Structures are given as C-alpha cells and as structure tokens.
Structure 1
Amino acid sequence: MRNTNTSVKIDGIDKKILRYLMDDARTPILEIARNIGISGAAIHQRLRKLEKSGLLSGSKFIINPKVLGYTTMAYIGIFLDKAMSNPKAVKELEKIPEVLECHYTTGNWSILIKVLCKDNEHLMHVLNKRIQQIEGVSRTETFISLNQQLDRQIQI
C-alpha cells in the first residue's frame, strides 16, 4: 500500500458501486448499473478510475481455512534482540506458510504476526521449530484466538 497524504474523493455513485462489490465482488456490472440507474460503461469507467487512484487493489476469493483443517488462529508478539534484526527476521517469517500477516509495531514487541495452524500441536511446532529458531528472535508471546467475532472492511 502506498503511503500518501492525499485522500481519494469518491461521490455517492462510487460509494454505491463499491458497496455492491464489497458485498459480492462477483455481482455483474450490468446488475449494478440497473440498480443504480447508470450505464454499464459508466460503471467500468468509474472502476478504472478507482483502481488507478489506488483505492481498489483487486478482488479475491476467500478460502474457508476450517474446511482444510486449519482451526487454530494465533497472534504472536516477537521480541528481537536488536532493531537491526528486523529485516532478516521478516525475510525468514516470509518463508513460513502459516504466517498470514506480519506487522512492525510499537510497544513491547518488535513484530506482531498472525498465524494459522491445524491445531495446537501444529502451532507448537511452528513456534518451536520455525519462529523461535530465527536468528535475532529472543523470545515470543502467543495469544490463541478462540473465536473471530468481527471481520470487516472500512465502511464506504
């Protein structure tokens, strides 16, 4: 994501288009056009403009990890021995497929990661054999998510 100080201006029609697509990205453009009362070509033009502005960064299918047997979600705070270890640690974390997110943070930890594992035993293996073996990692603090209660995007 680009870090800019300028925000994108969107009007009411843009907001309506975005709400339809955020609800279901596979909604046909012509269906959205009929519901909003403008042409399909106008919707395409607006979407191209929003993509070009950087507001839209594509669409994706969401995989339900539980169907594949992944039931343990955890957040792990990583303490590094020194700040200079960060780039190398992140490079090593990228190699671990169970790591879904990695954040450089303020506070006690240097890095906060989100991991998805099949079960607690799998999580323990990832922690002990992969994450804690990374050079520069002095210790970790793990929080297991019992239930994700909210999952949403910013409101438009």
Structure 2
Amino acid sequence: MKITLDALDRALLDALQADARLSFNELARRVHLSPPTVAQRVRRMEEAGVITGYRAQVDPVAAGLPVVAHVRMKCYGARCITVHPELLEDLPEVVEVSRLTGDICSMAKVVTESVMELERVLERLASYGGTSSAMVLSTPIAWRPLPHPSADRG
C-alpha cells in the first residue's frame, strides 16, 4: 500500500532514524501530537512498508570484525546472488547485497575477523561469478538518515 507522507510523518521518521528506541510518548512530545496519534501514524508507516524494521547500528571494528570489504560481482542466471540470495544464507559475513545497474550485477558488503577469513569468503563468492574487492580503510560517513524528497526541501 502506497501512502503519502506529510510533514508530521517525516518528522516522526527523522526522530526514529536518529533514535529508534524513542517511546511513543517522547515522539509525541517532539512532534506535538498525542501518543495514540503517533502510534497510529507509525503503525501506518510500518504497514505501508515505509518503516521496514528497527535495528541497532553496530560498529564492526568494535564488535571484533575489523576487516570490511566491498565486493563487486558479475554473476548471471541460476548462480546469481541477487536472483538467488539464499545461496548466501550460510555465509553470515556477507551483511548486505545490492543489485546494481551497469557492467556489474551486485555489490556485497563483507565483514570478517581477519584477512584470511576475507580470502575464504572471496573464494566462496567467486564460485558464483567474477569478483573484484576493495577493503575499507575508513568510513567517514557510516550512515545518514534518508533525506526528504526534493519537494519537501522547498
């Protein structure tokens, strides 16, 4: 179900992206609505698929996974990881896969304890198609909340 987001919905999204642990009471205080109204709006955005979940942001290095890499993939057909993501269910080091346009089909984000473990994951990924990897040295922008559509920015 597609919904139209108004300024109050966007304010709620901004607050939840900054801190998903906020209570409905605190959200209501911040956007000047009643807690039941806030709860109704949040549930409506969840049901419409605007809000897809609530997660803790975890620093992989602090969590003991200091090797982070992005792996570009060229894979097609029955062994394509974007068509069959279940192929990677037993490879938890792959924490994200995006389907792309252009000369590569996907980008996988991999986190491991060591370069040796990264090598093992890369060998496994190579069984699904061509790979090209780049290790992350630092992440100056680790995450940002979604911007508002240009119509909302004036």
Q: What TM-score range do you get, normalising by the shorter chain?
A: 0.7 to 0.9
Change (3 A) 1:79 1:20: closer
Structure 2 counterpart of 1:22, one-letter code: Q
After superposing the two structures, state which structure 1 stretch, 12-21 or 39-48, moved more.
Answer: 12-21
TM-score in terms of structure 1 length? 0.79
SS in 2 for 1:65: coil
The answer to whether the 8 Å contact 2:14/2:145 transfers is no
SS in 2 for 1:14: helix
SS in 1 for 2:139: coil
Change (3 A) 1:28 1:103: closer
Runs of 5+ consecutive residues of structure 2 not aligned to the other structure: 149-154
Change (3 A) 1:69 1:55: same
SS in 1 for 2:95: strand
- Structure 1 residue aligned with 2:37: 42
- Structure 1 residue aligned with 2:79: 85
Deviations 1:57-93 (A, max 9, x none): 121222332223111111112233x544326864323
What's the % identity of the aligned pairs?
25
Matches of 1:105 and 1:70 in 2, distance apart?
26
Larger Rg: 1
TM-score in terms of structure 2 length? 0.80
Task: Say what the alpha-carbon RMSD is for the aligned residues.
Answer: 2.3
Change (3 A) 1:91 1:45: closer
- Structure 1 residue aligned with 2:12: 17
Q: Does 1:149 align with 2:134?
A: no
- Structure 2 residue aligned with 1:112: 107
Matches of 2:55 and 2:102 in 1, distance apart?
33
SS in 2 for 1:123: helix
Runs of 5+ consecutive residues of structure 1 not aligned to the other structure: 1-5
SS in 2 for 1:121: helix
Change (3 A) 1:36 1:143: same
Change (3 A) 1:142 1:116: same
